[in-house]
Amino acid sequence: MTAATRPLRRPDELANAGLAPAAERAALERVAQRYAVAITPALAELIVPGDAADPIAAQFVPTAAELDVRSNEAGDPIGDDAHSPVPGLVHRYPDRVLLKPVHICAVYCRFCFRREMVGPGKRKTLSPRQLAAALDYIRARPDIWEVILTGGDPLVLAPRKLRAIVQALAAIDHVQVVRVHTRLPVADPAKITPGLVRAMQASPKATYVVLHANHPRELSAAVRAACARIVDAGIPMLSQSVLLRGVNDDPTTLAALMRAFVESRIKPYYLHHADMAPGTGHFRTSIAEGQALMRALQGSHSGLCQPQYVLDIPGGHGKAPIGPTYLAETDASGGYRVTDFRGHAHRYDGRSPRKRLPR
Protein backbone atom coordinates (compact mmCIF):
# COMPACT_ATOMS: atom_id res chain seq x y z
CA MET A 1 0.00 0.00 0.00
CA THR A 2 1.27 3.47 -0.90
CA ALA A 3 0.07 6.78 0.52
CA ALA A 4 -1.79 8.83 -2.10
CA THR A 5 -0.35 12.19 -3.12
CA ARG A 6 -3.11 13.02 -5.63
CA PRO A 7 -6.75 11.97 -5.96
CA LEU A 8 -7.33 8.28 -6.63
CA ARG A 9 -9.59 7.93 -9.65
CA ARG A 10 -9.16 4.43 -11.09
CA PRO A 11 -9.92 1.01 -9.61
CA ASP A 12 -6.27 -0.08 -10.09
CA GLU A 13 -5.15 2.99 -8.10
CA LEU A 14 -7.62 2.09 -5.35
CA ALA A 15 -6.32 -1.50 -5.29
CA ASN A 16 -2.69 -0.32 -5.15
CA ALA A 17 -3.56 1.97 -2.25
CA GLY A 18 -5.14 -1.00 -0.42
CA LEU A 19 -8.61 0.55 -0.57
CA ALA A 20 -10.33 -1.92 -2.90
CA PRO A 21 -9.93 -5.67 -3.29
CA ALA A 22 -8.03 -6.55 -6.49
CA ALA A 23 -10.51 -9.40 -7.05
CA GLU A 24 -13.34 -6.87 -7.58
CA ARG A 25 -11.45 -4.87 -10.14
CA ALA A 26 -13.55 -5.94 -13.16
CA ALA A 27 -16.81 -4.97 -11.41
CA LEU A 28 -15.31 -1.70 -10.22
CA GLU A 29 -14.19 -0.87 -13.76
CA ARG A 30 -17.85 -1.16 -14.79
CA VAL A 31 -18.91 1.10 -11.93
CA ALA A 32 -16.21 3.64 -12.82
CA GLN A 33 -17.35 3.70 -16.43
CA ARG A 34 -20.77 4.91 -15.32
CA TYR A 35 -20.09 7.03 -12.24
CA ALA A 36 -17.18 9.33 -11.45
CA VAL A 37 -14.63 8.22 -8.86
CA ALA A 38 -12.24 10.47 -6.91
CA ILE A 39 -10.83 10.15 -3.42
CA THR A 40 -8.54 12.93 -2.25
CA PRO A 41 -5.38 12.12 -0.25
CA ALA A 42 -6.96 13.80 2.81
CA LEU A 43 -9.92 11.41 2.72
CA ALA A 44 -7.84 8.36 1.74
CA GLU A 45 -5.83 8.97 4.91
CA LEU A 46 -8.96 8.74 7.04
CA ILE A 47 -9.83 5.27 5.72
CA VAL A 48 -8.73 2.25 7.73
CA PRO A 49 -7.48 -0.17 5.02
CA GLY A 50 -8.85 -3.67 5.32
CA ASP A 51 -11.85 -2.60 7.41
CA ALA A 52 -14.79 -3.73 5.29
CA ALA A 53 -17.13 -1.60 7.42
CA ASP A 54 -15.10 1.61 7.34
CA PRO A 55 -17.63 4.47 7.17
CA ILE A 56 -15.34 6.76 5.18
CA ALA A 57 -14.54 4.07 2.62
CA ALA A 58 -18.26 3.30 2.32
CA GLN A 59 -18.90 6.86 1.16
CA PHE A 60 -16.15 7.14 -1.43
CA VAL A 61 -14.76 3.75 -2.51
CA PRO A 62 -16.89 2.27 -5.34
CA THR A 63 -18.43 -1.15 -4.86
CA ALA A 64 -20.16 -3.69 -7.08
CA ALA A 65 -23.42 -2.91 -5.21
CA GLU A 66 -23.68 0.25 -7.34
CA LEU A 67 -24.42 -1.94 -10.36
CA ASP A 68 -27.71 -2.96 -8.71
CA VAL A 69 -30.16 -0.33 -9.99
CA ARG A 70 -33.69 -0.66 -8.60
CA SER A 71 -36.94 0.12 -10.35
CA ASN A 72 -37.76 3.03 -8.01
CA GLU A 73 -34.41 4.76 -8.65
CA ALA A 74 -33.95 7.54 -11.19
CA GLY A 75 -31.12 9.50 -12.77
CA ASP A 76 -32.67 12.79 -11.61
CA PRO A 77 -34.22 11.62 -8.31
CA ILE A 78 -35.23 15.02 -6.97
CA GLY A 79 -36.46 16.38 -10.29
CA ASP A 80 -33.96 19.19 -10.92
CA ASP A 81 -34.57 19.06 -14.67
CA ALA A 82 -38.30 19.68 -14.34
CA HIS A 83 -37.53 23.05 -12.74
CA SER A 84 -34.59 24.18 -14.84
CA PRO A 85 -35.65 27.14 -17.01
CA VAL A 86 -32.07 27.80 -18.22
CA PRO A 87 -28.96 25.59 -18.03
CA GLY A 88 -27.36 25.45 -14.59
CA LEU A 89 -30.31 26.97 -12.74
CA VAL A 90 -33.09 25.25 -10.79
CA HIS A 91 -36.10 27.33 -9.71
CA ARG A 92 -38.26 25.07 -7.55
CA TYR A 93 -39.32 27.33 -4.67
CA PRO A 94 -40.68 30.88 -5.00
CA ASP A 95 -37.94 32.76 -3.12
CA ARG A 96 -34.76 30.93 -4.08
CA VAL A 97 -32.89 29.27 -6.90
CA LEU A 98 -30.02 26.83 -7.23
CA LEU A 99 -27.18 28.05 -9.40
CA LYS A 100 -24.85 25.27 -10.54
CA PRO A 101 -21.78 26.86 -12.12
CA VAL A 102 -19.73 23.63 -12.10
CA HIS A 103 -20.52 19.95 -12.37
CA ILE A 104 -17.30 18.64 -10.91
CA CYS A 105 -16.32 17.86 -7.32
CA ALA A 106 -13.10 17.23 -5.42
CA VAL A 107 -14.48 13.81 -4.40
CA TYR A 108 -17.34 11.72 -5.73
CA CYS A 109 -19.73 10.31 -3.14
CA ARG A 110 -21.11 6.87 -3.91
CA PHE A 111 -24.64 7.90 -2.82
CA CYS A 112 -24.69 11.23 -4.70
CA PHE A 113 -28.18 12.25 -5.82
CA ARG A 114 -26.65 14.06 -8.82
CA ARG A 115 -24.34 11.19 -9.75
CA GLU A 116 -25.70 11.08 -13.30
CA MET A 117 -24.90 14.79 -13.69
CA VAL A 118 -21.52 15.31 -12.01
CA GLY A 119 -18.01 14.26 -12.90
CA PRO A 120 -15.70 14.33 -15.88
CA GLY A 121 -17.55 13.59 -19.11
CA LYS A 122 -20.94 14.51 -17.61
CA ARG A 123 -22.58 17.92 -17.93
CA LYS A 124 -20.12 20.67 -18.62
CA THR A 125 -19.29 23.60 -16.41
CA LEU A 126 -21.43 26.58 -17.42
CA SER A 127 -20.00 28.60 -20.30
CA PRO A 128 -19.72 32.39 -19.80
CA ARG A 129 -22.80 32.80 -21.99
CA GLN A 130 -24.82 30.25 -19.98
CA LEU A 131 -23.74 31.85 -16.72
CA ALA A 132 -24.81 35.26 -18.06
CA ALA A 133 -28.21 33.80 -19.03
CA ALA A 134 -28.65 32.33 -15.52
CA LEU A 135 -27.78 35.69 -13.94
CA ASP A 136 -30.21 37.44 -16.31
CA TYR A 137 -32.93 35.03 -15.19
CA ILE A 138 -32.27 35.91 -11.53
CA ARG A 139 -32.05 39.64 -12.31
CA ALA A 140 -35.46 39.59 -13.98
CA ARG A 141 -37.26 38.00 -11.01
CA PRO A 142 -37.59 40.22 -7.92
CA ASP A 143 -39.03 37.34 -5.86
CA ILE A 144 -35.63 35.59 -5.80
CA TRP A 145 -34.24 36.48 -2.37
CA GLU A 146 -31.62 33.72 -2.03
CA VAL A 147 -29.23 32.07 -4.47
CA ILE A 148 -27.78 28.69 -3.54
CA LEU A 149 -24.47 27.93 -5.24
CA THR A 150 -24.18 24.20 -5.67
CA GLY A 151 -23.13 21.79 -8.36
CA GLY A 152 -20.86 19.90 -8.35
CA ASP A 153 -18.92 21.79 -5.74
CA PRO A 154 -18.77 25.56 -6.32
CA LEU A 155 -15.66 25.89 -4.16
CA VAL A 156 -13.58 24.01 -6.73
CA LEU A 157 -13.85 27.17 -8.83
CA ALA A 158 -10.77 29.36 -8.92
CA PRO A 159 -11.19 32.18 -6.37
CA ARG A 160 -11.23 34.73 -9.23
CA LYS A 161 -14.22 33.00 -10.84
CA LEU A 162 -16.05 32.50 -7.57
CA ARG A 163 -15.52 36.16 -6.68
CA ALA A 164 -16.97 37.24 -10.04
CA ILE A 165 -20.14 35.19 -9.43
CA VAL A 166 -20.49 36.42 -5.85
CA GLN A 167 -20.08 40.03 -6.97
CA ALA A 168 -22.54 39.62 -9.84
CA LEU A 169 -25.12 38.30 -7.38
CA ALA A 170 -24.33 41.08 -4.90
CA ALA A 171 -25.15 43.62 -7.59
CA ILE A 172 -28.72 42.31 -7.88
CA ASP A 173 -30.77 44.34 -5.42
CA HIS A 174 -33.35 41.69 -4.57
CA VAL A 175 -30.77 38.93 -3.91
CA GLN A 176 -30.05 39.30 -0.22
CA VAL A 177 -28.53 35.91 0.61
CA VAL A 178 -25.96 33.68 -1.07
CA ARG A 179 -25.61 30.16 0.23
CA VAL A 180 -22.67 27.97 -0.82
CA HIS A 181 -23.04 24.19 -0.55
CA THR A 182 -19.70 22.40 -0.41
CA ARG A 183 -17.81 19.28 0.54
CA LEU A 184 -14.40 20.83 -0.15
CA PRO A 185 -13.40 21.59 3.48
CA VAL A 186 -13.71 17.83 4.16
CA ALA A 187 -12.33 16.62 0.83
CA ASP A 188 -9.32 18.91 0.72
CA PRO A 189 -9.06 21.26 3.70
CA ALA A 190 -5.86 22.87 2.41
CA LYS A 191 -7.88 24.26 -0.50
CA ILE A 192 -9.80 26.53 1.88
CA THR A 193 -7.25 29.25 1.34
CA PRO A 194 -7.46 32.88 2.47
CA GLY A 195 -8.00 33.78 -1.22
CA LEU A 196 -10.98 31.45 -1.51
CA VAL A 197 -12.48 32.79 1.71
CA ARG A 198 -11.95 36.37 0.53
CA ALA A 199 -13.79 35.51 -2.69
CA MET A 200 -16.85 34.56 -0.62
CA GLN A 201 -16.49 37.76 1.40
CA ALA A 202 -16.60 39.85 -1.78
CA SER A 203 -20.29 40.54 -1.23
CA PRO A 204 -21.84 42.85 1.36
CA LYS A 205 -24.91 40.57 1.30
CA ALA A 206 -25.30 37.72 3.80
CA THR A 207 -23.25 34.67 2.78
CA TYR A 208 -23.64 31.24 4.35
CA VAL A 209 -21.59 28.10 3.78
CA VAL A 210 -23.26 24.71 4.16
CA LEU A 211 -20.81 21.87 4.79
CA HIS A 212 -21.69 18.35 3.67
CA ALA A 213 -20.30 15.66 6.02
CA ASN A 214 -21.75 12.37 7.20
CA HIS A 215 -19.45 10.84 9.79
CA PRO A 216 -17.69 12.44 12.78
CA ARG A 217 -14.29 11.20 11.57
CA GLU A 218 -14.65 13.53 8.59
CA LEU A 219 -14.33 16.46 11.01
CA SER A 220 -10.57 15.98 11.49
CA ALA A 221 -8.36 18.66 13.03
CA ALA A 222 -7.45 19.94 9.56
CA VAL A 223 -11.10 20.09 8.53
CA ARG A 224 -12.08 21.94 11.72
CA ALA A 225 -9.25 24.43 11.06
CA ALA A 226 -10.47 24.93 7.48
CA CYS A 227 -14.00 25.62 8.74
CA ALA A 228 -12.63 28.00 11.37
CA ARG A 229 -11.05 30.02 8.55
CA ILE A 230 -14.51 30.44 7.04
CA VAL A 231 -16.34 31.19 10.30
CA ASP A 232 -13.61 33.56 11.52
CA ALA A 233 -14.10 35.54 8.30
CA GLY A 234 -17.66 36.25 9.44
CA ILE A 235 -19.34 33.61 7.27
CA PRO A 236 -21.79 31.49 9.28
CA MET A 237 -21.76 27.77 8.58
CA LEU A 238 -24.54 25.20 8.55
CA SER A 239 -24.34 21.46 7.96
CA GLN A 240 -26.10 18.97 5.78
CA SER A 241 -25.76 15.22 6.06
CA VAL A 242 -27.32 12.23 4.39
CA LEU A 243 -28.62 9.37 6.49
CA LEU A 244 -26.61 6.41 5.19
CA ARG A 245 -26.78 2.78 6.19
CA GLY A 246 -23.41 1.64 7.50
CA VAL A 247 -22.14 5.20 7.87
CA ASN A 248 -24.24 7.12 10.38
CA ASP A 249 -27.40 5.06 10.98
CA ASP A 250 -26.80 4.49 14.67
CA PRO A 251 -27.60 6.94 17.48
CA THR A 252 -24.04 7.21 18.82
CA THR A 253 -22.48 8.05 15.47
CA LEU A 254 -25.22 10.46 14.46
CA ALA A 255 -24.98 12.30 17.77
CA ALA A 256 -21.17 12.45 17.57
CA LEU A 257 -21.48 13.92 14.06
CA MET A 258 -23.89 16.62 15.21
CA ARG A 259 -21.70 17.46 18.20
CA ALA A 260 -18.64 17.66 15.94
CA PHE A 261 -20.47 20.21 13.79
CA VAL A 262 -21.55 22.30 16.77
CA GLU A 263 -18.06 22.18 18.31
CA SER A 264 -16.79 23.51 14.97
CA ARG A 265 -19.33 26.38 15.08
CA ILE A 266 -21.42 24.76 12.35
CA LYS A 267 -25.14 24.62 13.07
CA PRO A 268 -26.74 21.31 12.03
CA TYR A 269 -29.29 22.13 9.35
CA TYR A 270 -30.47 19.15 7.31
CA LEU A 271 -30.37 15.39 7.70
CA HIS A 272 -31.50 14.14 4.30
CA HIS A 273 -33.23 10.86 3.84
CA ALA A 274 -31.14 9.20 1.11
CA ASP A 275 -32.48 9.96 -2.37
CA MET A 276 -33.42 7.33 -4.95
CA ALA A 277 -30.29 7.78 -7.04
CA PRO A 278 -29.35 4.82 -9.22
CA GLY A 279 -27.30 2.09 -7.57
CA THR A 280 -27.65 3.52 -4.04
CA GLY A 281 -30.24 1.17 -2.51
CA HIS A 282 -27.63 -0.36 -0.19
CA PHE A 283 -27.33 3.04 1.54
CA ARG A 284 -31.03 3.73 2.12
CA THR A 285 -32.63 3.21 5.52
CA SER A 286 -36.37 3.20 6.08
CA ILE A 287 -38.04 6.45 7.12
CA ALA A 288 -39.11 4.74 10.37
CA GLU A 289 -35.43 4.07 11.17
CA GLY A 290 -34.61 7.72 10.45
CA GLN A 291 -37.40 8.92 12.71
CA ALA A 292 -36.22 6.64 15.53
CA LEU A 293 -32.70 8.06 15.20
CA MET A 294 -34.03 11.61 15.30
CA ARG A 295 -36.12 10.78 18.37
CA ALA A 296 -33.03 9.40 20.12
CA LEU A 297 -31.04 12.52 19.20
CA GLN A 298 -33.77 14.83 20.42
CA GLY A 299 -34.07 12.91 23.65
CA SER A 300 -30.44 13.09 24.62
CA HIS A 301 -28.66 16.00 22.98
CA SER A 302 -28.64 19.79 23.05
CA GLY A 303 -31.05 21.67 20.84
CA LEU A 304 -28.02 22.98 18.96
CA CYS A 305 -27.39 19.42 17.74
CA GLN A 306 -30.78 18.98 16.08
CA PRO A 307 -30.94 18.99 12.26
CA GLN A 308 -34.22 18.81 10.40
CA TYR A 309 -34.88 15.37 8.92
CA VAL A 310 -36.08 15.93 5.36
CA LEU A 311 -37.13 14.03 2.27
CA ASP A 312 -36.79 15.43 -1.21
CA ILE A 313 -40.03 14.25 -2.75
CA PRO A 314 -39.22 12.40 -5.99
CA GLY A 315 -40.40 14.19 -9.12
CA GLY A 316 -39.25 17.66 -8.12
CA HIS A 317 -41.92 18.48 -5.52
CA GLY A 318 -39.40 19.87 -3.04
CA LYS A 319 -38.32 19.04 0.49
CA ALA A 320 -40.67 17.95 3.24
CA PRO A 321 -39.78 17.62 6.95
CA ILE A 322 -40.52 14.00 7.83
CA GLY A 323 -40.62 14.02 11.55
CA PRO A 324 -40.81 12.47 13.94
CA THR A 325 -43.81 14.34 15.28
CA TYR A 326 -44.39 14.94 18.96
CA LEU A 327 -47.90 16.35 18.81
CA ALA A 328 -51.19 14.63 17.99
CA GLU A 329 -54.64 16.18 18.01
CA THR A 330 -56.96 14.24 20.29
CA ASP A 331 -60.18 16.23 19.80
CA ALA A 332 -61.46 18.91 17.48
CA SER A 333 -61.82 21.51 20.26
CA GLY A 334 -58.06 21.88 20.75
CA GLY A 335 -57.01 18.88 22.79
CA TYR A 336 -53.58 17.42 22.06
CA ARG A 337 -51.29 14.64 23.15
CA VAL A 338 -47.68 15.80 23.28
CA THR A 339 -44.71 13.50 23.82
CA ASP A 340 -41.72 14.59 25.90
CA PHE A 341 -38.06 13.79 25.25
CA ARG A 342 -38.32 10.59 27.36
CA GLY A 343 -41.17 9.32 25.20
CA HIS A 344 -43.86 9.99 27.84
CA ALA A 345 -47.20 11.29 26.55
CA HIS A 346 -49.00 14.27 28.15
CA ARG A 347 -52.34 15.93 27.55
CA TYR A 348 -52.30 19.56 26.48
CA ASP A 349 -55.27 21.89 26.41
CA GLY A 350 -54.54 23.95 23.33
CA ARG A 351 -57.80 25.90 23.19
CA SER A 352 -57.29 29.54 22.40
CA PRO A 353 -58.68 31.74 25.23
CA ARG A 354 -61.72 33.61 23.95
CA LYS A 355 -61.61 37.35 24.23
CA ARG A 356 -64.30 38.85 26.45
CA LEU A 357 -66.28 41.43 24.56
CA PRO A 358 -66.61 44.78 26.38
CA ARG A 359 -70.13 45.38 27.75
Which range in 150-158, 161-169, 232-240, 296-304 contacts ligand SF4 by CB under 6 A?
150-158
CA nearest 193: which of 233, 236, 166, 147? 233
Binding mask 91-110 for ligand SF4 (x = CB under 6 A): --------------x--xx-
Name the residue nearer to ligand SF4 (CB basis): 105 or 169: 105
* Residues in 118-137 at the binding interface with ligand SF4, rule: CB under 6 A: 118
Contacts of 55 (CB under 8 A, 6+ apart): 214, 215, 217, 246, 247, 248, 253
Using rule CB under 6 A, residue 275 touches ligand SF4: no
Q: For the chain, what is the radius of gyration of the CA atoms?
A: 22
Using rule CB under 6 A, residue 112 touches ligand SF4: yes
Sign of CA dihedral 281, 310, 46, 209: positive
Give least dist CB 356 to ligand SF4, A. 57
Q: For strand 237-243 and strand 266-273, is the pairing parallel, antiparallel, or unpaired?
A: parallel
Q: How far is CA 81 from CA 211, 240, 253, in A?
A: 24, 22, 34
Give least dist CB 104 to ligand SF4, A. 8
Query: What single-letter amino acid sits at 152?
Result: G
267 forms beta bridges with 238
Name the residue nearer to ligand SF4 (CB basis): 212 or 215: 212
Name the residue nearer to ligand SF4 (CB basis): 75 or 343: 75
Using rule CB under 6 A, residue 153 touches ligand SF4: yes
Residues involved in catalysis: 92-93, 96, 105, 109, 112, 114, 275, 312, 319
Q: Could you list the residues that contact ligand SF4 (CB under 6 A)?
A: 105, 108-109, 112, 114, 118, 151-153, 183, 212
